[in-house]
Amino acid sequence: MPGLLVTFEGGEGSGKSTQLARLAARCAELGIEPLVTREPGGTPLAEGIRGLLLDPARRPGPVAEAFLMEAARAELVTDVIRPALAGGRVVMCDRFDDSTLAYQGGGRGLDLEQLADWNRAATGGLTPDLTLLYDLDPAVGLARRAQAPGPLNRLDREPPEFHARVRERYVALARAAPGRFVVLDAALPPERLELLGWAALEAQLRRRGLIPSA
């Protein structure tokens, strides 16, 4: 498929969404208008599912939670991501299927093979070309999140052990797919983090001929 799918992953408070915005701005400076979206979300239905998933008043079980994530994903992939890639766009997605493996797999303890099957059903086998993992000690991330404006969402409120398992799973996923993942130290200052993320993204853009070779 033409186009380029870049996903941004990490724990709570890792700064990935800020970094995504910075890298999207750098693309725009080069005349590339990326399609920026997020998971769960990115379509009216999926944003509705996001509201249900993040609402602290709700208590879905692990399987229901996973299915809601997959339902939102299926809609986003079909309606937004695949058409954009088919049109040659660069798609930057704030979280994608690795989040399910990290949160519902690592965090909740659901079977990884089972989750990978559900992911494949939702994505139709679409895999990111590049995944930037913003790796951070969850204690630091959660402290940042607690200081940010707005209430904590349902998943932010999970205990520290949950977030530690999420991080461990992310690191294991990155080790298992070193050609796709670039792991970044999210404790670095934002400017430095931006440079490192851009180096990885720029290399992909060049490889795809989306910007001229240096």
Residues that bind ligand TMP (CB under 6 A): 12, 38-40, 69, 94-95, 99-100, 103-104, 155
d(CA 143, CA 133): 19
d(CA 205, CA 200): 9
Find the residue with minimal CB distance to ligand TMP.
Answer: 103
Pick between residue 47 and residue 202 the one whose CB is nearest to ligand TMP.
Answer: 47
Q: Is 29 exposed, middle or buried (0-12, 13-18, 19+ CB in 10 A)?
A: exposed
Contacts of 108 (CB under 8 A, 6+ apart): 62, 65, 66
- Minimum Å distance from CB 19 to ligand TMP? 13
Pick between residue 18 and residue 204 the one whose CB is nearest to ligand TMP.
Answer: 18
Pick between residue 75 and residue 94 the one whose CB is nearest to ligand TMP.
Answer: 94
- Minimum Å distance from CB 88 to ligand TMP? 25
Pick between residue 13 and residue 210 the one whose CB is nearest to ligand TMP.
Answer: 13
- Minimum Å distance from CB 188 to ligand TMP? 19
Q: Cα 113 to the chain's mean position, in Å?
A: 19
| Residue type (1 letter), 158 | E
Pick between residue 122 and residue 210 the one whose CB is nearest to ligand TMP.
Answer: 122
Helix (H) or strand (E) holding 132: strand 130-135
- Minimum Å distance from CB 40 to ligand TMP? 5
- Minimum Å distance from CB 100 to ligand TMP? 4
d(CA 210, CA 12): 31
